Structure 1
Amino acid sequence: MDQQLSNKIEAHFDEMQEIRRHLHMHPELSFQEKETANYIANYYKTLGVPVEENVSGYGLIARIIGSKPGKTIALRADFDALPIQDEKDVPYKSQVPGVMHACGHDGHTATLLIIGKLLWEMRDELVGDYVLIHQHAEETDPGGATGMVKAGALNGVDAIFGTHLSSNHPTGMIGYRVGPMMAAVDSFDIKIQGRGGHGAQPHQTKDAIVIGSQLVMNLQQLVARRVAPTESAVLSVDSFVAQNADNIIADSAYLNGTVRTFNKDVRVTMEREFRRIIQGTEIAHDCTIELDYRCGYPAVVNHEKETLFVRDVAQDICDVFEMEATMGGEDFSYYLEEKPGTFFFTGAAPKNYAPHHHPEFDIDEKGMLVAAKVLLTAALNYQLVD
């Protein structure tokens, strides 16, 4: 990348770190990010950057118009936190009980704000226009992205780029992948209504635990016997609750879990066969089963042209590797369904490693520099792409 641009980004690292730590200390849950949104809006207003507030909730869109005609490029960062107690021993520990940035969204926001500042400073030299999407509620279905798309966040946009800081990868590395990169995310809640009774007289009952146990085992066969071995799918039952005294057979049981897929046809198959197993279990056990099956975020499918473009840009900045697809989910998928673009991972592994969504999660803040350099260079250089 241009050394002068790299130097400008690095010169703003202290400010980037200050922003990130402020947000880390004051996290807000999905769809509740009022003060975070105000902080972002005030940052842009202080610079003089036009910013649209309250986009489909607490979303914001800053627009920077270049002095010369060109493409319109969008960059996106999310800013919601998670319902987790921060257990790190650091000066910037969350000050909100039971809420913390345990996935790096504070770092995403700090990165994009500094990119916005630099673009604004360069506006008299810029080719094209730049749309900076600050998105609320990535962590909670239905997410903020779909509403922002409907509200016009991508109107006139030629391409969109986004990244996720990752504690799972070393700082100074970018992970890319063409095609499906992150999974579609569906979820389910099940209530089994049997007939309880005395533990010594099981023949007079419809044991919800036995029914639920058979249901779990049958559901586990969906991936093995309904999905082609060349495709990928996950079905996890994550909770099974039927609490009673030791002499009472369960009257009801509650289960929930998730289904993850990449292929749209496999996604349809999993839901259809899931419902058939529920229906069959009801008939076999003469019971009632209530199913709430929710289709969440679609799969993140990166466009080939834009992904390889970002790979080539990143090779001049840091180490680059081709990632394996992950069963994690991201509502950046909604943007990619509308416009060409790509979503990549930026390594930010701290000395004291903890996985994402963990009470001790943190990032190496130097990863924000890498993210900023790749995103800003990609946005500027995409003007030259045919």
Structure 2
Amino acid sequence: MEQEILRALFPLMVERRRHLHRHPELSFKEKATSAFVAEVLQRLGVEVSTNVGGFGLVGNIRGSLPGKTVALRADMDALPIHDEKICEYASQTPGVMHACGHDGHTATLLAVAEYFCKMKDQLRGQIRLIFQPAEETYPGGAASMIEQGVLDGVDAIYGVHLWTPITVGTVASAPGPLMASTDEFFIDIQGRGGHGGMPHKTIDSVVAASALVMQLQSIVSRSIDPLDPAVVTIGSIQGGTAQNVIADRCRLSGTARCFREDTREMIRSRIYDLAEGTAKGYGAEASITYMMGYPSTINDEHEFDRFFRVAPSVFGVKAEISPKIMPAEDFSYYLQRVPGCFMLVGAGNSEKSADRPHHHPKFDIDEDAMLYAAGLLITMAESYMEEHA
């Protein structure tokens, strides 16, 4: 990697990231963001396909030398969170902000595009740039882009996530599972409502639902190997209208996360069994809606080895093996089709107020992380191409 070329692009990365941060767009609504990206790529002379899987874009940069095709991906969508930061690039759209770093991902990949356009004469093969919509909202944008052929002819794929839990200057990934699968469920308990002073004439849906909350906690603690990480969380319970009315219906909603497909199916089965059995024990009925979301993000072990080997050459960053983490990513769909590696790039720095967790209303990144992220994507791609020349 020609580090000086990339360093010269850094001010432009910051400028573009701040523009995107001011003008965030929610999942499946990234029209202006997509147009902004398309305009930059077209000005660079990149072959661009628009409206791929929604507002997604695909750019192709063909090198002068024969070789493999490596895909690099950035997500573009924001979140329905009001930006509470006080800074000149704060979101100008009430109730919407880039609270997860996708603006930085997009700005980073645009810089990578500029880099490879400058290096065409030395480029072996082809770089495919994937600007993906709707990572934050199921069913996500990755699956629909894959259906429209974004991975056709691709030999390897890499992606990064700017990650504030890690200090800037450090990067991390893992061989095999890195991020969890994520499923959602809704359980409606149907009882028989009535007067709060006459409970014997009713079937209390709130009591049945409360008992079920406790039963569901036994799935992880008593049905799953303690060495196999998993989470079952009940995020909401909704029932009742007044203090003296026994509720006719109560709804639970939650999420289930794990790393193995057999564990995933077992959790789903146990939720059905416990919901139906507990409701029946109280004379009520349970209706379950279960939605299988993103699968676990599982890195190719050879490509993780590449990451761990080449990362320290990227501006001297420190490479670490990441523990498994429970947030999910639809980059998992790409890795089901093509060997690759998803990598976490430290973006945390308390001195720059970049120490808030992701999805926080005051979330921000240390923008220096974009330089490391771009360098890592470039170095991974160049390493793969050289190995397979």
Q: Does the TM-score normalized on the shorter chain lie above 0.5?
A: yes
Aligned to 2:169: 172
2:210 maps to 1:208: no
Q: CA deviation at 1:282?
A: 3.3
Aligned to 1:364: 366
2:17 maps to 1:15: no
Aligned to 2:280: 283
What residue ranges of structure 2 are gaps of 5+ in the alignment?
Answer: none
1:147 to 133, 144, 163: 144
2:84 maps to 1:82: no
1:62 to 59, 66, 71: 59
2:385 to 365, 378, 383: 383
- What amino acid does structure 1 have at the position aligned with 2:381? A
* In 2: Cα distance, 1:108 partner to 1:243 partner: 44
Aligned to 2:348: 349
1:246-257 matches, within 5 Å, as 246-257=243-254
- What amino acid does structure 2 have at the position aligned with 1:345? L
Q: CA deviation at 1:325?
A: 0.4
- How many percent identity over aligned positions? 48
1:179-190 matches, within 5 Å, as 179-190=176-187
Deviations 1:4-55 (A, max 9, x none): x111111111100000000000000000111111111111111111100000
- What amino acid does structure 2 have at the position aligned with 1:323? S
Deviations 1:211-246 (A, max 9, x none): 001111111111112111221110000001123222
- What amino acid does structure 1 have at the position aligned with 2:48? V
- What amino acid does structure 1 have at the position aligned with 2:345? T
Deviations 1:52-99 (A, max 9, x none): 000011110000111111110000000000000000000000000000
Runs of 4+ residues deviating >3 angstroms? none
Aligned to 2:221: 224
* In 2: Cα distance, 1:303 partner to 1:263 partner: 15
* In 2: Cα distance, 1:171 partner to 1:148 partner: 31
Deviations 1:124-155 (A, max 9, x none): 22111110000000000000001111111111
**TM-score, length-scaled by structure 1:** 0.98
* In 2: Cα distance, 1:258 partner to 1:209 partner: 20
Aligned to 1:323: 322
- What amino acid does structure 1 have at the position aligned with 2:145? M
Deviations 1:301-354 (A, max 9, x none): 011100110111112221111110001100000000000000010001132121
Q: Secondary structure at the match of 2:270?
A: helix
1:41-120 matches, within 5 Å, as 41-120=38-117
1:296 to 293, 296, 303: 293
1:373 to 364, 372, 375: 375
**TM-score, length-scaled by structure 2:** 0.97
Q: Secondary structure at the match of 1:169?
A: strand
Q: Secondary structure at the match of 2:58?
A: strand
* In 2: Cα distance, 1:267 partner to 1:255 partner: 19
Q: CA deviation at 1:285?
A: 2.2
Residue-pair matches, total: 383
* In 2: Cα distance, 1:168 partner to 1:229 partner: 25
Contact 2:209 2:279 in 1 (8 A): no
* In 1: Cα distance, 2:372 partner to 2:334 partner: 23
2:240 maps to 1:243: yes
What residue ranges of structure 1 are gaps of 5+ in the alignment?
Answer: none
Deviates more, 1:242-251 or 1:229-238: 242-251
Q: CA deviation at 1:286?
A: 2.4
Q: CA deviation at 1:196?
A: 1.1
* Aligned Cα root-mean-square deviation (Å): 1.0
- What amino acid does structure 2 have at the position aligned with 1:262? F
